[in-house]
């Protein structure tokens, strides 16, 4: 039996699970993506935050940092999951331009910030327990994003400093292969995920996102993601995002994630690739 198959085969009582206060198997809540939703690092999955089953309430808190050649992105926040059906999340993002701020003419160490409020609902399927069914777990979600420095964002070509993104995700766990596959469609006009405002030369568009993860053991998952992006600002090209990642569950409450992320060109500075690190606490 593969590592994932052996994990799923273990009875819940052998793990000492209490369905009122927890019960999910290791790593099946996903990690926290940069917008605060449960899933991968760059894209949401259909899974719900927290360790709860359909009889409980759970939650997560996270801190994420991405160091790029010319910028630093930090994100921190939390999420609550209700009966493995509904998720509420909040994340604060801070995008530090460092020395690049002076080169851009906005000041040394200038920092863009935004607040992200999210909601997600599972509509159908169960990624873990519906192994004998073709239907994946399917969820829909919404993200309200509010960025600061609205006057500057307008000068850069953004139409607004706040916006709403809608998405739908489908997650399928292939038990025999220890493989997870996720697809997401995001309706968005966010520039650099909203940190540089919303809208510009194009209207709202549907952008696809894909994730693949392979479980090497019941504690360690490796995988990759690709996220298509809009390109709305006339002064600077925006590229798609991609990463390769590894997530390790120290125990049922603590997950560490490391990734190599390629965020392409950001505000005229190309080749923004670097290390992504995230700590997630869950219950």
Q: Domain map of the chain by residue range?
A: 3-282
Q: Is the pLDDT of residue 162 over 70?
A: yes
State pLDDT tens for residues 169-209. 999 998 889 999 999 999 999 999 999 999 999 999 999 99
State pLDDT tens for residues 137-146. 999 999 999 9
Structure tokens at 212: 């693949």
* Nearest CA among 212, 227, 225 for reference residue 181: 212
Residue 34: C-alpha distances to residues 59, 117, 143 (Å): 16, 12, 12
Higher confidence at residue 248 or residue 55?
248
Q: Is the pLDDT of residue 237 over 70?
A: yes
What CATH homologous superfamily does 3-282 map to? monomeric porin ompg (2.40.160.40)
Q: Is the pLDDT of residue 215 over 60?
A: yes
Q: Is the pLDDT of residue 232 over 60?
A: yes
At residue 20 the predicted structure's pLDDT band, cuts being 50, 70 and 90, is low
Q: What percent of the chain has pLDDT over 70?
A: 93
Across the chain, mean pLDDT equals 91
Phi, psi of 7 (to 5 degrees): -65, -50
């Amino acid at each position: 039996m593969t590592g994932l198959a052996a994990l799923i085969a273990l009875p819940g009582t052998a793990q000492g699970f209490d369905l009122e206060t927890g019960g999910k198997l290791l790593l099946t809540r996903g990690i926290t993506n940069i917008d605060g939703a449960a899933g991968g690092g760059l894209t949401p999955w259909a899974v719900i935050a927290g360790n709860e089953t359909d009889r409980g309430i759970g939650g997560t808190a996270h801190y994420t940092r991405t160091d790029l050649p010319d910028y630093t992105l930090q994100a921190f926040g939390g999420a609550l999951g209700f009966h493995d059906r509904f998720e509420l999340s909040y994340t604060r993002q801070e995008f530090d331009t460092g020395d690049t701020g002076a080169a851009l003419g906005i000041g040394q160490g200038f920092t863009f910030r935004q607040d992200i409020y999210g909601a997600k609902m599972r509509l159908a399927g169960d990624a873990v327990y519906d192994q004998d069914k073709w239907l994946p777990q399917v969820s829909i979600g919404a993200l309200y994003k509010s960025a600061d420095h609205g006057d500057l964002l307008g000068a850069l070509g953004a139409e607004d400093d706040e916006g709403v993104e809608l998405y739908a995700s489908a997650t399928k766990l292939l038990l025999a292969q220890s493989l997870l596959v996720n697809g997401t469609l995001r309706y968005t006009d966010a520039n650099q995920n909203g940190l540089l405002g919303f809208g510009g030369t194009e209207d709202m568009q549907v952008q696809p996102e894909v994730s693949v993860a392979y479980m090497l053991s019941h504690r360690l998952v490796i995988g990759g993601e690709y996220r298509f992006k809009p390109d709305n600002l006339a002064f600077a090209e925006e590229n798609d995002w991609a990463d390769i990642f590894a997530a390790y569950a120290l125990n049922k409450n603590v997950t560490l994630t490391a990734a190599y992320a390629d965020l392409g060109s950001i505000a005229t500075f190309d080749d923004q690739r670097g290390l992504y690190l995230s700590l997630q606490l869950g219950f």
